[in-house]
Amino acid sequence: MARVLVVNPNSSVAVTERIEACVAPLQRVGDIRIDVVRLPEGPPGIQCQRDVEQVVQPLLARIEAEKADANVIACFSDPGLYAAREIAHGPVFGIAESAILTALSRGSRFGILAILPNSIPRHLRYAGAMGVLDRMAGDRALGLTVADLADADRTFDRLCSVGATLRDTDGADVLILGCAGMAHLRERLAEHLQIPVVEPTQAAVANACAAVTLGW
């Protein structure tokens, strides 16, 4: 049986469980087992560029050791993605990259729902490095800490109001959740705003499963 490894590079058990729940529908398909693991060495949440850098070494070590058929890095800053591709046994998917590519087939201009304002320059650099800036409608922050995200109602309220601004002021017709831990709110948000919403870990794990199934 083939295996897709999903590494949550922070140490949070709660976030890891939410990730596990959100990829469960993909779990049932075909001969692929999806293993979701957390990085005990990681910080409780990744909130700044330094946090991003800090998880790269243990993340690479884990991916190298696991020798999975495909790998997903489940943090929206895609830490260590290009280095992981050098050393991994199978292909490696970053959830930000996969989410953006998925959004490009579901709408005309995408908006990103960032957690904190300091991620926005990173997202802009990343969309620039990906060469897709012309399709980016906007990037706006919820202004919540990773800890705040535990409060689902408050998070949903912010997602609705920031999402509406991305849709109405910036012209986004598809949204991306800019964090691995908000999958449980995806469907309600899409219904509330009446535009597609992409959950990044689901997007990346779907890509990883397809790669394994097709032998790419």
Contact residues for a copy of itself (CB under 8 A)? 25-26, 28-30, 48-50, 52-54, 56-57, 60, 80, 82-83, 85-87, 91, 93-94, 97-98, 101-102, 104-106, 108-109, 120-122, 124-126, 128-135, 171, 173, 187, 190, 196, 198-199, 202-203, 206-207, 209-210, 213-216
Q: Are 27 and 19 in contact (CB under 8 A)?
A: no
- φ, ψ dihedrals at 68, nearest 5°: -75, 165
Q: Of the two residues 13 and 21, which places its CB atom closer to a copy of itself in the complex?
A: 21
- For 4-48, give the DSSP string: EEEEE-S--HHHHHHHHHHTHHHHTSTTEEEEEEE-TTS-SS--S
Distance in angstroms (rounded) separating the CA atoms of residues 111 and 42: 28
Q: Give the nearest distance from C-beta 48 to a copy of itself in angstroms.
A: 6
Q: Which is nearer to a copy of itself, 117 or 154 (CB)?
A: 117
**Minimum distance, C-beta of residue 167 to a copy of itself, in the bound complex (Å):** 12
Q: Which is nearer to a copy of itself, 40 or 82 (CB)?
A: 82
Instruction: Answer yes or no: are the C-beta atoms of 39 and 73 closer than 8 Å.
Output: no
| Pick 37 or 132: Cβ nearer a copy of itself | 132
Amino acid (one-letter) located at 43 = P
CA distances to 43, 53, 55 from 58, in Å: 11, 10, 6
Contacts of 153 (CB under 8 A, 6+ apart): none
Cβ 8 to a copy of itself, closest distance in Å?
A: 18
Least distance from a copy of itself to the Cβ atom of residue 146, Å: 17
Nearer to a copy of itself, 14 or 133 (CB): 133
Output the smallest distance, CB 69 to a copy of itself, in A. 14
